[in-house]
Amino acid sequence: MAAATGNIKKVTLELGGKSPCIVFADADFDVALEYAMFAIFAGQGEVCSAGSRLILERKIADKFLSRMAEASSKIVVGDGLDPKTEMGPLITRQHMEKVLHYIDLGRREGARTICGGSRLTNGVMEKGNFVAPTVFVDTQPGMKIVREEIFGPVQVVQLFDTEEEALHLANDTIYGLAGGVFTGDQGKGLRVLRGLRAGITWLNTYHPTFNEAPWGGYKQSGIGRELGTFGLDAYLETKQININLVPQRLNWFSGV
């Protein structure tokens, strides 16, 4: 943006986020569990719209997190070209070190991992940039692992008791790219999505992208939109044309 100020170039920015995946107790348990994992571990978390904050209703937290820890530890991590692989390596060694730094920071901040939390080096992963699927619990809103984008396979869990609290936690971020809600009550789901300050939202799903739909974020997740007819706006100059169909004197100036 700074470079564009010299000659006032228009820019469209689709930036990152710390997107919430909100799971209510009335959601289909197994569906919500799998999507909560998919939201963060698909693409090893290197996805701008990754659901990297799991905002979970407290009454189902123990069961949900137990199942999530067990299932996440069974994710097949390996060579991205192997059809059996479910999660591949991070893009560079430097980025892997950044992700591992955040994991260490989370522990020092007082959060606790219920799975993962380390580099993987066994077998084909010995020389690669592999990090185990990681889930943090016992987090606080002010922790850096909660507030900053990690861009890796690291999920942070926040618990809520009411719909209002869930929405407050979801919006308590400088970002606003995406967010998902899982509930058996469609009315409640739509109500929460309307209140979510994010540009891309999903109900009872996570990550689907359609070329026809506008893609972009609120707040520090960017400006402008890509995809759909909205995505054409950045490439257009809009002109106003006025035509006087019945020309008449203005009678504004007395000397005319």
Which residues are part of the catalytic machinery?
14
Listed residue (187, 145, 171) closest to 22, CA to CA: 171
Strand partners, 202: 180
Strand partners, 179: 201
Helix (H, G, I), strand (E, B) or coil at 12: coil
Starting from the edge strand earliest in sequence, which strands make up the sheet with 154-160, in order?
A: 112-115, 134-137, 154-160, 53-57, 20-23, 178-182, 200-203
Q: Any idea what DSSP says for residue 138?
A: S
Q: Quick one: tokens of 128?
A: 């690669």
Q: Measured in whole angstroms, how far is the alpha carbon of residue 205 from the centre of its chain? A: 13
Q: Quick one: tokens of 84?
A: 């059996």
